[in-house]
Amino acid sequence: MKSKNNDSIKFPLMGYAGYGITKFFNSFKSISLLFDRIETMFLFNDIKKLDIDRPIYITGLARAGTTIILEMLNKHPDLASHKYKNILMPYLPDWFSQMADRFNFYTKPFERLHRDGIIVTSESPEAVEEIFWQKFFNNLHNEKVSNIISRNDSNAKFEKFYLNHIKKLIINQKCSRYLAKNNYLVSRLDYMLKIFPDSKFLLIIRNPIEHIASLIKQTKLFIKLEQKIPLLPDWLKIVGHNEFGRNQMCINLGNTELINEIHKLWRSKNTYVKGWAYYWTSIYDFIAKQLETIKKLKKATLIVKYDELCETPAIIIDKIFEHTELPAEKFENAKKYYIENLHKPTYYTPDFSKQELSDICKITEGTASRFGY
């Protein structure tokens, strides 16, 4: 894998403080939930008046382009989303945000750990809600069992908490709708549609060769970062980001035998790329089958090809706004910016052998063709 940037990166000093705070509230979840209930009680009248309208969820395998689409849609004034600052005290979306704004916490821009050129601040949108999913559901990141949650499942405590939490975030940001990115939702789309029947899903997919190249690059980078930043693996586990690094976990979509085979392939240099091809296929094949069998889910989902977004941004942005039913007139300036600046990554290039390219094409061909590749 050839990269045009070096993998050295300085961990921000505030990051260590952030880890300490996050670790504390994760270790004492009863305190976190107590704070949540108190905040909810104080905001009860506002929460009671509010309905959650057509929440927008961005999902897909990591490195598909989900972050750039989150960043883009976050610029729409109607949408409330979690920010980097929410990671520190995720159970207080209103009170802690007010405190962070007052004291100007962590506002200096920095490049995120992924080393992909995305510059963020405490106000940048981030995937935070997996912290809550881990709290209320067991085995979501356990590869030995199926991680699928369907409409046949129920969790009253989670659903009550989750609805109130989203409403508090909307109240804090003075918006009308909720926006979230969560790569793990690929195993929960049917359940999400049960909670919010008017959900709008954006499924992001990418050319498997470029996608797998990005996944491999990111995995190698995080392994290096974990050597330099010993607390990183624990922090990633707390916030529910197990996509990369030494503690990397696959999403089990009902086939534990396949997960074991993928890990076996990853352990050998000669079959490492082949393992990624099988994992890519397992994720998108599962989604394709769901879209074919669940009519409501198909209607609620727009498939967004990252490659097309980079090549014809104006067309794809219009499709996203049509599907999500967002007022496009409020996004004109941001749309112009993305039309001018969206492009495929230039900081690395795939460098697979002929055999590796052949393996990727052979393994992913059937699934990729279902999405028009």
- pLDDT tens digits, residue range 106-157? 567 666 666 666 676 778 899 999 999 999 999 999 999 999 999 999 999 9
Show me where the domains of the chain are located. 2-370
Nearest CA to 316 out of 68, 61, 54 is that of 68
Write out the two tokens for 154. Answer: 């129920």
Q: Average per-residue pLDDT in the chain?
A: 91
Largest CA distance in the chain: 63
Indicate whether 73 pLDDT > 60: yes
How many Å from the N-terminal Cα to the C-terminal Cα in the chain? Answer: 23
Predicted pLDDT at 118: 65
Average pLDDT over residues 293-320: 97
pLDDT of 196-252, one tens digit each?
999 999 999 999 999 999 999 999 999 998 988 888 889 888 889 999 988 899 999
User: Which comes out higher in pLDDT, residue 344 or 164?
Assistant: 164
Predicted pLDDT at 113: 65
Predicted pLDDT at 133: 96
Confidence of residue 74 (pLDDT cuts 50, 70, 90): very high
2-370 CATH pick, 3.30.450.20, 3.40.50.300, 3.20.20.70, 2.40.160.20: 3.40.50.300
Phi, psi for 306 (deg, rounded to 5): -55, -40
Predicted pLDDT at 7: 46
Predicted pLDDT at 112: 65
pTM of the model: 0.92
Looking at residue 109, the DSSP 8-state letter turns out to be: -
Average pLDDT over residues 64-76: 96
Q: Where are the alpha helices (DSSP H) in the chain?
A: 13-27, 29-42, 44-49, 66-73, 95-103, 130-136, 156-173, 189-195, 208-228, 232-239, 256-266, 272-293, 295-300, 306-311, 313-324, 332-341, 354-370
Predicted pLDDT at 103: 75
User: Which comes out higher in pLDDT, residue 46 or 101?
Assistant: 46
Report how far residue 76's alpha carbon sits from residue 145's, in angstroms, rounded to the nearest whole number: 38
Indicate whether 9 pLDDT > 70: no
Nearest CA to 220 out of 112, 358, 307, 115 is that of 115
pLDDT of 311-356, one tens digit each?
999 999 999 999 999 999 999 999 999 999 998 877 677 889 999 9
- From residue 251, alpha-carbon distances to 1, 57, 212, 243, 274 in Å are 24, 18, 16, 9, 17
What are the percentages of helix, strand and coil residues in the chain, rounded to 5?
55, 10, 35
Please give the share of the chain, as a percent, with pLDDT higher than 90.
72
Looking at residue 124, the DSSP 8-state letter turns out to be: S
